[in-house]
Amino acid sequence: MQGKVLYIDYEKCTGCRECELACSVFHTGASNPSRSRIKVLKWEWEGIYLPMTCQNCEDPFCVEVCPTKACHKDPELNRVVIDKDKCIGCKTCIVACPFGAPLFDKAEGVSIKCDYCDGDPQCVRFCETKAIRYIDASEMNATKQYAAAEKLLDTLPKQSIPS
Amino acid sequence: MAIGLLMHWMGYIPNGLKPVILWGPILVAIGAFFLVLKLGVKRRFLNTIMNPMTSWLSRGFYILSVCIIIGGIDFLISLLPYLNIDFEFWSWLITALDIISFIFALATAIYTGILIMSVRYVPFWDTWLLPALFTVSALSTGAMATMLVSTGYNIFTTSTGFPEQMANTLSSIEQVIIVIEALVLASYLFTRYRLKEYAMYSVQLLLSGNLKYVFWMGIIICGFLFPIILEGIYSRLHDQHFLLFLAGAFLLLGGFFIRYVVIYAGIKEEHPMQRWLENRRFLEVLNKNTDFQAYRREL
């Protein structure tokens, strides 16, 4: 994978949902989280908040099932885009996506999804805790590896770690 | 329409009575109109033709369009004898149209199941037995509809335009199809139950969950048992036509319920994060119960 991707660290997310507001204002002009491309999933009993958005898959199933080719790959920004002028609002992409990423915008009657705000994601700009970052795909792997290693170290008894 | 054409080729339906059984494309067109009404932006429905290479919705648009257009032309040509227009010299064209209509009528029956199956992430739908079930159900309801129309025509015109032998043949075919349909449904549910946990939940939803009344009363009793029993009685009491109409109503209702429960029982595979949380929760409970941390410290 090449290009930039959204990296989400759920441990930093406080569930303030500012990302949803920023996304909605940028794309629709309205401060309406229900029209946001990013959704903060909440597991209150666990104290976990997870901002979820399109994974921009390598081989996207939504592109395969879209009957109008409105949903297509944009290799330049390494993203999957829905062309609002071609979309007929059949919701096939919504049913097909295993992550439930595309959403139906009732106001416009079309499917919507994260498009990285054309290279300047607003959710990243407005995230106070930096739980969402827009980083290079290769850097993301390294970040995840570091995070996994740190967790592993935490589980080990302190005396067993060589100084 | 496919069953009607089959009966026509078997010699049961004379040319003059073809219009009575060829109104399938009109019903498909009405159904297609409702599909368009469900779209978010209805005026762009023609955009659906854009991606037949990978999208089953797009392929379905072509299948339904050909079924409606060719079937409609076939229907209109079958009306020509009523206008005293001789079309005997076009017989090869009519045969060709009949064959194309037959193929696309069958394709229309099969396509719906394939469209639902193509949603990979609902394990309950992800099997070729689903299109098979929908197709057999379509043949069963189609055979019943043909039987009802022909019997209704004979009653209301007080003629014997459709031979009684046709009703007997259709009734026998119908009963065999119902048994096949029940077997396909049983294999479908059995294979889904054994496959993955989410397919198993779907089957449990049908057999003992929220949809149990629709499944047992709507499909098993109303869709399978009643029609077989009523048709069995009707085959002995041919003058009691209400039995046939009652069986038809039950069977068509059963066909509707099969589609209803298959759609409503489909459960999407859970979000990976949800599974992770459930595992974490399970481990926490396990830790509390066995004092796992203390055990680890001792080690």
CB-based contacts of A34: which residues, under 8 Å, 6+ apart?
Answer: A24
Q: Which residues of chain A have pLDDT under 70?
A: 1-2, 156-163
Q: Which of residues 107-146 of B touch A (CB under 8 A)?
A: 118-121
Q: What pLDDT score does B288 carry?
A: 61
Residue B47 distance to chain A (closest CA, Å): 5
Substitution target from B119, B275, B279 for chain A, most A beta carbons within 10 A: B119
Nearest to B273 among A50, A63, A108 (CB): A50
Q: What is the SS3 assignment for B295?
A: helix
Same topology, domains A1-53+118-147 and A56-113? Answer is: yes
Q: What pLDDT score does A123 carry?
A: 93
End-to-end CA distance of chain A: 37
Domain A1-53+118-147 carries which CATH code?
3.30.70.20
Q: From B56, which residue of chain A is nearest by alpha-carbon distance?
A: A65
Contact B50 A69 (CB under 8 A): yes
Residue B272 distance to chain A (closest CA, Å): 8
Q: What pLDDT score does B271 carry?
A: 67
CA gyration radius, chain B: 25
Q: What pLDDT score does A57 carry?
A: 86
Q: What pLDDT score does B214 carry?
A: 94
C-alpha separations of B142 from A14, A133, B10, B21 in Å: 58, 57, 16, 10
Q: What pLDDT score does A122 carry?
A: 93
With 0-12 / 13-18 / 19 or more C-beta atoms within 10 angstroms meaning exposed / middle / buried, residue B198 is middle
Residues of A with CB below 8 A from B271's CB? Answer: 41, 52, 99-100
Nearest to B54 among A10, A64, A110 (CB): A64
C-alpha span between B248 and B149 (Å, rounded): 10
CATH 3.30.70.20 fits A56-113, yes or no: yes
Contact A110 B40 (CB under 8 A): yes
Handedness of CA B137, B138, B143, B145 (dihedral sign): positive
| Domains in chain A: boundaries | 1-53+118-147, 56-113
Annotate B194-208 with DSSP letters as a single string.
Answer: HH-HHHHHHHHHHHT
Give the H/E segment covering residue A74.
strand A71-74
Contact B280 A46 (CB under 8 A): yes
Nearest to B41 among A65, A88, A92 (CB): A88
Contact A89 B51 (CB under 8 A): no
Q: From A112, which residue of chain B is nearest by alpha-carbon distance?
A: B40
C-alpha separations of A23 from A39, A73, A117, B276 in Å: 10, 21, 8, 27
Q: From B271, which residue of chain A is nearest by alpha-carbon distance?
A: A99
C-alpha span between B121 and A71 (Å, rounded): 19
Per-residue pLDDT of chain B (299 residues; tens, 9 = 90+): 888 888 888 877 777 677 777 888 899 999 999 999 999 999 988 888 888 888 999 999 999 999 999 999 988 888 887 777 776 677 788 888 889 999 999 999 999 999 999 888 888 998 999 999 999 999 999 988 888 888 888 887 766 677 777 878 888 888 899 999 999 999 999 999 998 678 888 999 999 989 999 999 999 999 999 998 988 888 887 778 888 889 899 999 999 999 999 999 988 877 666 666 666 666 666 566 555 555 555 55
φ and ψ of A82, to 5 deg: -110, 120
**3-class secondary structure for A110-124?**
EEECCCHHHHCCHHH
Contact A88 B119 (CB under 8 A): no
CB-based contacts of B293: which residues, under 8 Å, 6+ apart?
Answer: B287
C-alpha span between B3 and B58 (Å, rounded): 26
Q: What pLDDT score does B120 carry?
A: 82
C-alpha span between A117 and B170 (Å, rounded): 61
